[in-house]
Amino acid sequence: MFVDNAVVKRIEGEERYDRFAIASTMLDVSFKGAGCSVIEAKVLKNCEGCNLKYLCNKIDEVVQDYIEKTTVVTSSFSFDN
């Protein structure tokens, strides 16, 4: 099965953001981490002057929440024969 991870899709003649694609991107971020292209390109020195700071912080919170809710530590296990 092929899954299209494009964030913007044309649905019924109009462009829409696809929640599945956004969620799968967030999953990738939980494994790979994320950076800011605006800071890396030295357009801004830090996040303080950026209008997207609030959203970026929320993305970090969502990723951390996902990691905490899906990471299970097992202290012991057994193999069934």
pTM above 0.85, yes or no: no
| Alpha carbons 81 and 5: distance in angstroms, whole number | 39
Q: What is the pLDDT of residues 8-60, one digit of tens each?
A: 999 899 999 999 899 988 888 888 989 999 999 999 999 998 999 999 999 99
**Res 5 pLDDT > 70:** yes
Q: What is the pLDDT of residues 70-81, one digit of tens each?
A: 877 666 666 776
The pLDDT of residue 81:
60
Confidence at 6, pLDDT banded by 50, 70, 90: confident
**Closest among 7, 32, 2 to 21, alpha carbons compared:** 7
